Amino acid sequence: MTAAVFFGCTFIAFGPAIALFLFTIAREPLRVIFLIAGAFFWLVSLLLSSLVWFISVQISNKDSAVQQKGLLIFGVVLSVLLQETFPMSHPPDLSGLGFGFMSGAFSVVNILADSVGPGTIGIHGDSQHYFLSSAFMTMAIILLHMFWGVVFFDACEKQQWWAVAAVVISHLVVSCLTFQNPEYVASLVPTYVILFLMGIWAFYSAGGSLRNLKLCLTCKDKDFLLANHRPR
Amino acid sequence: MLFVPVTLCMLLVVATIKSLHFYSDKTDQQLIYTPFTENTSSVGRRLLNSVLNAVVMIGVIVAMTVLLVFLYKYRCYKVIHGWLILSSLLLLFWFSFMYLSEVLKTYNVAMDYPTAGVLIWNFGAVGMACVHWKGPLALQQAYLIVVSALMALVFVKYLPEWSAWLILALVSVYDLVAVLSPKGPLRMLVETAQERNEPIFPALIYSSAMAWTTGPADGEPGRASDEEAEPSGRAAAAEDDDDEQEERGVKLGLGDFIFYSVLVGKAAAGGGDWNTTAACFVAILIGLCVTLLLLAIFKKALPALPISITFGLICYFATDSLARPFMDDLAAHHFYI
């Protein structure tokens, strides 16, 4: 594996997230603090769920592979549920992005570190697309976390419990889709469909509309221009 | 604010440890401050030795702090200046030469001694000038970060495993006591400096804004980190004597930088797992946020080590023993959460 694979996968996985960070967060220390707080809450939820998983593994039959896999699936579901119960701080997109960054980092950083070293992927018959699919999956997950955060917070504010349930269920669906790996097509395509739908939903709950979008893209949005001191 | 320098210092330490094997290789050499070896046959013996090591190290730190306060109180400024200049010479010339030679060895680049000499001379001389005399603020800050990173790397290399964790825990307790208790040496230092209306001993402190003195630059004592690891870890708000001054910089002791980086460095060196390193990193930054929040509420000198190191230690041990096997299993099956 080469540096090309490493850089390519890193940029695929973290590109959009870092762009979001640079354009919307980096200038204000307070926003950075919220981002890090989001990351920290994700970490705490991970630690709690891995504690439960660890205990359950210790008391289970270690030789049975089926049981171990079942326990792992249980661990994943528990982890998703715990993540959703953690208090979403305001602003929601930052805590969502914090969740996303941490989740993405934990999923993919070790893989990226391995990709710099020597070796050939899939030499024993495993899929050759391990790195690439990991990178795409990570990108989807990071963006999804942010969208989930926005929708979740908005739904909590407006007390629309069906929306909260929809967020939790879609998170579970995405995680469970990954159980089909290494059938990457079966897991990646639906994930991206869900990403697209959640993105649109988050856009509308954050107050966006087609009209805003048009104004923004043609640089005619007066509020945005005034806020950034740019002439039309 | 303070995130950028702390992050840079930690990143520098982690990057060095991951790329230069010198700093994470096991060595039997130990510092004189940790005289007991951890290469013993039984676990109990090893635990006892690491406790003794930690006690000796903390004893040395306490003694140095008390000595510093003593010298400051009795106005032995020349002795303090001499001490700081000597230690910053050691760091800027000797340790950076060691670092340069390890980098060259790792990347197998040949460099002749005259070139190395010129490089190190320039680096060190500019560092001494910036840190002890006058220089652009950004350059001064950069040198303080580099110096803290070098010191942290030395600790990561030469402190044995268990002793390092115990030392981190004990030094945060000491920090808490020394800054908050009425007879604590660091509190006395801060109060003496306030009585004399001098900057709170700008040496050994990283300041995020220029200290605007109203008079002629009255010998701003040297800024460098002490080789005997002055862990005067405390964050203090800059005193505004000048009404027109708008800048209110936050200050953080270099000892804080060093111990944060030691924690993250040890996490990176032991095992090579990036998840643990990332977890410790986030934990330390959150601890720093909480400390700064408390600073804004209480508006007096506060210890910066305890909260961050506590979070960091908890996250390190929890991630290493619980989250790592979980994440490894998930990655092996390619599941995502």
**CA-only gyration radius of chain A, Å:** 20
Q: Which helix (H) or strand (E) holds B250?
A: strand B250-253
- Residue B164 · residue B212 · CB < 8 Å: no
Of B274, B278, B333, which is closest to A72 when you measure between CB atoms?
A: B333
Chain B closest CA to A73's CA: distance in Å? Answer: 9
Please tell me the total number of residues recorded for chain B in this structure.
337
Do B274 and A72 make contact, defined as CB atoms within 8 angstroms?
no
Of A36, A54, A109, which is closest to B286 when you measure between CB atoms?
A: A36
| pLDDT, position B226 | 36
A76: contact with B, CB 8 A cutoff:
yes
Chain B closest CA to A107's CA: distance in Å? Answer: 7
pLDDT at B90 over 50: yes
Do A37 and B289 make contact, defined as CB atoms within 8 angstroms?
yes
Closest chain A CA to residue B1: A29
Domain that holds residue A65: 1-229
**pTM for the full predicted model:** 0.87
Closest chain A CA to residue B2: A29
Give the 3-state secondary structure of residue A27: coil
Q: Which residues contact B206 (CB under 8 A, 6 or more apart)?
A: B5, B141, B144, B145, B148, B251, B252, B253, B254, B257
pLDDT at A5 over 50: yes
| pLDDT, position B245 | 38
| pLDDT, position B15 | 93
pLDDT band at B202 (very low <50, low <70, confident <90, very high): low
Domain boundaries, chain B: 2-210+250-259
Using one digit for the tens of pLDDT, what is the confidence trace for B4-42? 999 999 999 999 998 888 888 877 788 888 888 888 888
In whole angstroms, give the CA distance from residue B45 to residue B42. Answer: 5
| pLDDT, position A129 | 82
In the set B175, B242, B243, B320, the catalytic residue is B175
Q: Give the tokens for residue A169.
A: 């269920």
pLDDT at A40 over 80: yes
Chain A closest CA to B248's CA: distance in Å? Answer: 15
List of chain A residues whose C-beta atoms are within 8 Å of the C-beta of residue B274: 105, 109-110, 113
pLDDT band at B59 (very low <50, low <70, confident <90, very high): very high
Number of compact structural domains in chain A? 1
φ, ψ for residue B244, nearest 5 deg: -75, -15
Using one digit for the tens of pLDDT, what is the confidence trace for B237-254? 333 333 333 345 788 889
pLDDT at A56 over 70: yes
List of chain A residues whose C-beta atoms are within 8 Å of the C-beta of residue B275: 105-106, 109-110
| pLDDT, position B319 | 93
| pLDDT, position B268 | 92
Check: complex ipTM more than 0.85: yes
Please state, rounded to an integer, the average pLDDT across all residues of chain B. 84
| pLDDT, position B262 | 96
List of chain A residues whose C-beta atoms are within 8 Å of the C-beta of residue B330: 72, 75-76, 107
Does B28 participate in catalysis according to the annotation?
A: no
Using one digit for the tens of pLDDT, what is the confidence trace for A205-227? 888 888 878 877 887 777 766 66
List of chain A residues whose C-beta atoms are within 8 Å of the C-beta of residue B8: none
pLDDT at B194 over 90: no
Using one digit for the tens of pLDDT, what is the confidence trace for A15-25? 999 998 998 88
In whole angstroms, give the CA distance from residue B137 to residue B5. Answer: 13
- Residue B6 · residue B257 · CB < 8 Å: yes
| pLDDT, position B266 | 94
pLDDT at A228 over 70: no
Count CB atoms within 10 A of the CB of residue A228.
7
A105: contact with B, CB 8 A cutoff:
yes
List of chain B residues whose C-beta atoms are within 8 Å of the C-beta of residue A32: 3
Instruction: Give the CA distances from residue A97 to residues A140, A154, A192, B250, in Å, rounded to whole numbers and listed in that order.
Output: 12, 15, 17, 28
| pLDDT, position B214 | 39
